[in-house]
A and B are shown apart, each in its own frame.
Chain A
Amino acid sequence: MPQHRLTFEALGTQWAIESTEPLSDKLQKDIEYSLAAFDKTYSRFRDDSLVGQMAEQAGTYIFPDDFPPLMDMYLKCYELTNGRMTPLIGSVLEQAGYDKSYRLHPQKLSTVPDLHEVIIWDEACTVTTSVPVVFDIGAAGKGYAVDKVTVLLEAAGIDAYVVDASGDIRHRDREQETVGLEHPNDASKIIGVARLQNQSLCASASNRRRWGDLHHIFDPHTLAPVSDVIASWVVAGDTLTADAMATALFLVDDTTKLMETFEFSYVRMFADGRVEHSANFEGELYT
Chain B
Amino acid sequence: MQETKSPNKAVVALIVVTLLATVAAGSLYAYNSQNEASPLAQSTNSAANSTIAGNSQTTSTASPASSYVNGTYTATGNYSTPESTESIDLTVTLVDSTITNVSIQNSGNVRESRDYQQRFMHNCTNLVVGKNINSVSLNRVAGSSLTSNGFNSALDQIKADAAA
Contacts and interface: CB of A to CB of B under 8 A. Distances in A.
Given A190-B130, A279-B121, A211 B158 contact: yes
A270 to B, nearest CB: 8
A66 B125 CA distance: 38
A209 B130 contact: no
Given A164-B140, A255-B122, A209 B131 contact: no
A221 interface: no
A12 B150 contact: yes
Most buried by A among B121, B143, B153: B143
A268 to B, nearest CB: 9
Interface residues of A, number: 62
B155 interface: yes
Nearest to A10: B148
Contacts of B131: 189-190, 286
Contact of B145 (A167, A179, A270): A167
Contacts of B128: 183, 191, 269, 273-275, 285-287
Interface stretch (B31-39, B45-53, B71-79, B111-119): B111-119
Contacts of A168: 145
B116 to A, nearest CB: 10
Nearest to B149: A9
A188 B133 contact: yes
B100 to A, nearest CB: 11
Given A13-B148, A104-B158, A211-B158, A177 B139 contact: yes
Given A188-B133, A280-B118, A275 B143 contact: no
Interface of B: 101, 106, 114, 117-119, 121-133, 136-151, 153-155, 158
